[in-house]
Amino acid sequence: MKESKQDSNIFFYQQASKLARIGNWEFDVIHNKIYWSDIVHELHETNPKTFTPDLRTGLSFYREDFRSMVTEIIQNSIETGTPFDFEAVIITKKKKERWVRAIGNAEMMQEKCLRIYGSFQDIHESKMLELRMREILESISDAFYAVDKNWKFTYFNKEAENILLKKAEDVLGKNIWELFPATADTGIRKIYQRVARSKRKESFEYYNAEDGKWYEINAYPSQDGVSAYFKNIDERKQAAIKLDQAYQEKISILETINDAFFHVNNDWVLTYLNKQSEKILGRKRDTLIGKNLWDEYPEAIETDFYRQYHKAMETQESLTFEEFYMPLNMWLEVTVYPSPTGLSVYFRDITLRKEADLLLLQSNERFEKVTEATHDAIWDWNIIENTLYWGAGLKSLFGYEFERTTPTLETWTNHIHPEDRDWVLKSIYAAIEKPDQLNWIVEYRYQKNDGSFADVIDRGVIIRDERGKPIRMVGAMNDITERKNFEISRNNYVRQIEIQNEKLKNIAWTQSHIVRAPLARMLGIMNFIEVSNKNSDEISVWIKHLRDSANELDTIIKDMVDKAKHIEG
């Protein structure tokens, strides 16, 4: 019974190791022999039946920039018995890069190392996600930090260092309230605790008495802790106060702030835009000032911009929100300050930050949960490995069993309409080859499982490494067939009206030309009879002509009526 339980434990340990992709290894120092488990061979992409590693070949798998470090660690462990735990990149037998974690211990006897042994784990996916997150968080203009459930710092970016005047190495692992005791008794602590408890984002403004400046803070729940984006908005607050003092002073301040700004009066007429708003909107302010906001941007009427601006105007309360503006393919963060004369609106491009939010979401939730919350066909293309993941929307929209779909780019391209395939592929490759392009959007025809074609709109976000090289692309495809069919029906209706108008023109021409001929003869004959002194026989002849013209006119009129009856045909 004891052996059965032990065998069971061994089995479960092996299964857990396989799922976690953890192998074990041993180096016999005395006999200079190395043992690798099957998983270690799998991670190196070597054949355990034909490949026998030794210390030199084992170290040669490490990428050149890690090799000397690993060699030094191994040598030190052999000489001193010091255990180790490090992360590094190996180059597999098939020339693929992979992040791994190696943990080792030494077995010593009389101060001499007999063997070193330990575990070897695949951490490539988590490490790449961590590096991508770090890259984006370091590149955004907002300061950012994260604390865990014990309120200890787990991340602290460069901008946070600049604003809070502390280095990351001095704060990581330290308690936020101990490092910044002045904030422990303020509203920040209560808000952070509420965010961690409720799992809901909160945005607020905070006055720091230590430096006398205002900050805007966006707090997000993450892994039982809090992630916070914050920025100095002291200039914005000062600008809002001075707006009521002098117009020229207001312009001077607004032209120097980093936020884009515009003002509308109570009739939604734009009265002022600063230079930063010109850059984001891509339009000169001279073409906008004096124009109605909704006349110039009608596509915004059905969005949160319209609803939030009207809410601020009606309640006279300031508010902040985030919204994606499709014409600019850009996420905007907007703060609205109402006044009796209209609205003052500050906004900025937060597309990079939203991409960081996307990566944070990927690190805390499974991608499948996202696909369940949308009717779109969500996809994730690993450009480096040419694998394509599809969400459940592929089945609900197009009828494909995504579990059975081969996870490659060809899975998608093979179902694009033959007439659209070449230009769609050129479009997506052109987008990923431009280092500064982050988004891609096209419309094309996509084949359903029943063989019919749907009109779709496809949007993607390009994720790049530190050199601008595209590594992944995440997006969503939506069926817009009904909208397209409506546009076709509308065009057919317009064409039918044009045909009917043409028929009406023909009738009108008949009326104005053909009818006049017999009518003119009739009028001439009647005038002739009226002034004539002819005898009754001659008059009878003229009356016969008059009757013939009347019959001719009657025939024409009947023909016109008949054409009018069939005008809809």
Give one DSSP letter per residue of 364-382, joined into a string: HS-HHHHHHT-SSEEEEEE
Which of these ranges, 128-132, 162-166, 169-173, 443-447, has the smallest mean pLDDT? 128-132
- H or E stretch covering 297: none
Region 185-194: mean pLDDT is: 89
> How many Å apart are CA 568 and CA 463, to the nearest integer?
56
- Which residues, including other chains, have CB under 8 Å from residue 156's CB and lie 6 or more apart? 144, 145, 166, 168, 171, 172
Per-residue confidence (pLDDT) for residue 508, from 0 to 100:
55
pLDDT at 289 over 90: yes
- H or E stretch covering 317: none
> Where in the chain is CATH 3.30.450.20?
2-122, 128-232, 235-354, 366-479
Segment of 355-364, 450-459, 555-564 carrying the highest mean pLDDT: 450-459
Tell me which of 1.10.150.20, 2.40.50.140, 3.30.1160.10, 3.30.450.20 is the CATH number of domain 366-479.
3.30.450.20
Tell me which of 1.25.40, 1.10.287, 2.40.50, 1.20.58 is the CATH number of domain 491-565.
1.10.287
pLDDT band at 364 (very low <50, low <70, confident <90, very high): very low
Contact predicate 390/379, CB 8 Å: yes
Per-residue confidence (pLDDT) for residue 209, from 0 to 100:
80
Average pLDDT over the chain reads 82
Region 350-373: mean pLDDT is: 64
Q: What is the pLDDT of residues 369-401, one digit of tens each?
A: 555 556 678 888 888 888 888 877 777 788 887
Per-residue confidence (pLDDT) for residue 10, from 0 to 100:
45
The CATH number of the domain covering residues in 128-232: 3.30.450.20
Per-residue confidence (pLDDT) for residue 75, from 0 to 100:
95
pLDDT band at 37 (very low <50, low <70, confident <90, very high): very high
Region 132-151: mean pLDDT is: 74
% of the chain at pLDDT higher than 70:
75
The topology under which CATH files domain 235-354 is Beta-Lactamase (3.30.450)
> Where in the chain is CATH 1.10.287?
491-565
How many CB atoms lie under 10 A from the CB of residue 517? Answer: 13
pLDDT at 152 over 60: yes
pLDDT band at 91 (very low <50, low <70, confident <90, very high): very high
> How many Å apart are CA 20 and CA 439, to the nearest integer?
34
Region 107-134: mean pLDDT is: 84
pLDDT band at 5 (very low <50, low <70, confident <90, very high): very low
> In CATH, what is the architecture of 2-122?
2-Layer Sandwich (3.30)
Per-residue confidence (pLDDT) for residue 8, from 0 to 100:
47
pLDDT at 498 over 60: yes
φ, ψ for residue 161, nearest 5 deg: -60, -45
pLDDT at 61 over 80: yes
Q: Decide: residue 453, CB within 10 A, 0-12 exposed, 13-18 middle, 19+ buried.
A: middle
Tokens 């939506």 correspond to 478
> pTM here?
0.33
